[in-house]
Chains A and B, each alone.
Chain A
Amino acid sequence: MFAHEFMRNALIAGSFVGLACGLVGYFVVLRAQVFAGDALSHVAFTGGLAAAVLGLNILAGVFAATILGGIVMGLLGDKARADDVTIGSLFAWTLGLGVLFLTIFTTQDSAGNGTAGVRVLFGSIFGLSAADVRTSVVLAVLACAILLAIARPLLFASLDNAVAAAQGVPVRVLGLGFLALLGLVAAQATQAVGALLLLGLLAAPAGAAHRLTANPYRGLLLSALFSVGSIWIGLTLSYAFPTLPPSSMIIAAAVGIYLLALATTIPRARAVWPRPANANVAA
């Protein structure tokens, strides 16, 4: 499968995008901002379609919209931890706007390619050009570098906002920066798996990592590995069975890993709980 250029492109871009998703996703789960990630996926949809309507590069539209969306969420939300009401409102409004753009785009462009909506919603990882791959890799490496640079104070602020602030960690700036970074990574994930499914790539590998280890640095590593692994498994499956779309296979792999992680940790919890009760009955 490495003989095909589209496949090589997909694997290279996908690996880096997966790495960024895994690292950022670990903090998304820790900070309980999965809902923010979901909202950003709708922002990505709207941004992509707005760009399509205006005749601009769809990917550029997605990036601009999600990064801006992250910053706006951070600014509106109290203490740079965007709250549910803020996100919910932003999310409904942007989705409405996206539907409007979709309508304009399909009526305006009825003869030509009506695929922009589909591409934004489901990703286009098998359609990447060499230039797209370069852009993806550069942006993903940038996102990973920023995340690793702020990882420790961000971990401190996520666990213990008041103490971190008292020790001099710039918690507001970090919270805002993290949402902007989440926007950047969400845009990348949109390219790989589409706006509809990007939440799976952000949340499932990270969720599995949180289940399997309580050591944060090991967790970050595991989350990144699971995320990259999901991309590889998904792309391989989709290559082997061409009727299966890559985006759904990637998400299926990610969710599969999460379920495996659940399955291996739940029996342990069960073994701990009923035993004392049984012992009491026996005694």
Chain B
Amino acid sequence: MTAMATSLRPDTGSRKGAAVTFDGAAVRLRGRTIWSDVSLTVAEAAFVAVLGPNGAGKSTLIKAILGLLPLAAGTASVLGRQPGVAKGRIGYLPQRHGFDSGTRIRGVDLVQLGLDGTRWGIPLPGSPSRKRDAARVAEVIELVGATTYARRPIGELSGGEQQRLLIAQALVRRPRLLLLDEPLDSLDLPNQAAVAALVRRICEEEQVAVLLVAHDINPIIGYLDRVIYLAGGGAIEGAPEEVITSETLSRLYGAPIEVLHASDSRLVVVGQPEAPFVHGDRHA
């Protein structure tokens, strides 16, 4: 079966202002093609969810955007440059983070490292730059609503509290692009919605494009601009109501998929092939 990637809005006409553009891109890891022929555009200050089953290559997509993995084919542009060039303007939250409970470093210090962690030496107390940095750190911590626990050791915080501080860390440099790999992972449903609302607000207030990897679209669908759906070795990009349809997903998976609309307007995707099927499919 051929891998496919279709942008449902083939030409947005605004490539110049795009945060991320992939054109016919493919990634190969240890001789295995994870996905291929992927073309997509993430507009500036857009909130985009990256969806798909386990092993579809969502984290791989994020790493390719970061320039941590090379493309085997196609071209990519990230903030107008090659991937990996604009490091300082990208905020990144890796998948399944979580600190050891014995980590006795405060949340504020973690956020501060997002700002100055690449500089050599140690910060000198009382210097003007240190004061400016501290003000910015306090500002982002306030933005994510973590002020009450930011001075506690990070290892003693709950998964959701750690997640908010990590989002603050990713935001502290005022990035143009935010890559969040499953930030809703360890959160309960109200917190998933709260973080999604927070990301939406950040997206608008700080004018930053966000790629958020998630497993369930429902808690976040109301906040999204676009969706990238990865499956079957390919990807589809478009508005949520265009992508999450029986026809589009069936084409992507190469198997019958049904999208049901529950009465509360929630989407239920049924008939997703089990992971082994998807894996076998990709080996071909």
Give A contacts to B, CB under 8 Å: 30, 32, 148-153, 155-156, 159-160, 162-169, 210-211, 213-217, 219-220
- Chain A residue with minimal CB distance to B67? A166
Which residue from A151, A159, A167 sits with its C-beta under 8 Å from B118?
A167
Of residues 154 through 171 on chain B, the ones whose CB sits less than 8 Å from some CB of chain A are 154, 166, 169-170
Interface centre among B94, B100, B110, B113 (most CB of A within 10 A): B113
Contact check, B122 vs A162: say whether CB atoms are below 8 A apart: no
The docked-state distance in angstroms from the alpha carbon of A155 to that of B68 is 21
- Shortest Cβ gap from A209 to chain B (Å): 9
Interface centre among A30, A149, A159 (most CB of B within 10 A): A159
Contact check, A163 vs B114: say whether CB atoms are below 8 A apart: yes
The docked-state distance in angstroms from the alpha carbon of A150 to that of B93 is 23
With A151-B121, A152-B120, A214-B152 as known contacts, state yes or no: A160 contacts B113, CB within 8 Å: yes
The docked-state distance in angstroms from the alpha carbon of A210 to that of B155 is 12
B121 contacts which chain A residues (CB < 8 A)? 148-149, 151-152
Which residue from B105, B119, B170 sits with its C-beta under 8 Å from A216?
B105
Which residue from A156, A210, A220 sits with its C-beta under 8 Å from B104?
A210
Question: Interface size bucket, B side?
Answer: 35 or more
Contact check, A166 vs B113: say whether CB atoms are below 8 A apart: no
Q: List 24 A-B contacts (CB under 8 A).
A: A148-B122, A150-B120, A151-B122, A153-B120, A155-B117, A156-B113, A156-B117, A159-B99, A159-B105, A159-B113, A160-B110, A163-B114, A163-B166, A163-B169, A165-B68, A166-B66, A166-B87, A167-B92, A167-B114, A169-B118, A214-B106, A214-B109, A214-B152, A219-B104
Contact check, A162 vs B153: say whether CB atoms are below 8 A apart: no
Q: Is B142 an interface residue (CB 8 A)?
A: no
- Shortest Cβ gap from B115 to chain A (Å): 10
The docked-state distance in angstroms from the alpha carbon of A221 to that of B200 is 41
Contact check, A168 vs B87: say whether CB atoms are below 8 A apart: yes
The 5 A-B residue pairs whose C-beta atoms are closest, nearest first, are A156-B117, A162-B94, A214-B153, A156-B113, A166-B92
Contact check, B117 vs A153: say whether CB atoms are below 8 A apart: yes
- Chain A residue with minimal CB distance to B122? A151
B169 contacts which chain A residues (CB < 8 A)? 160, 163
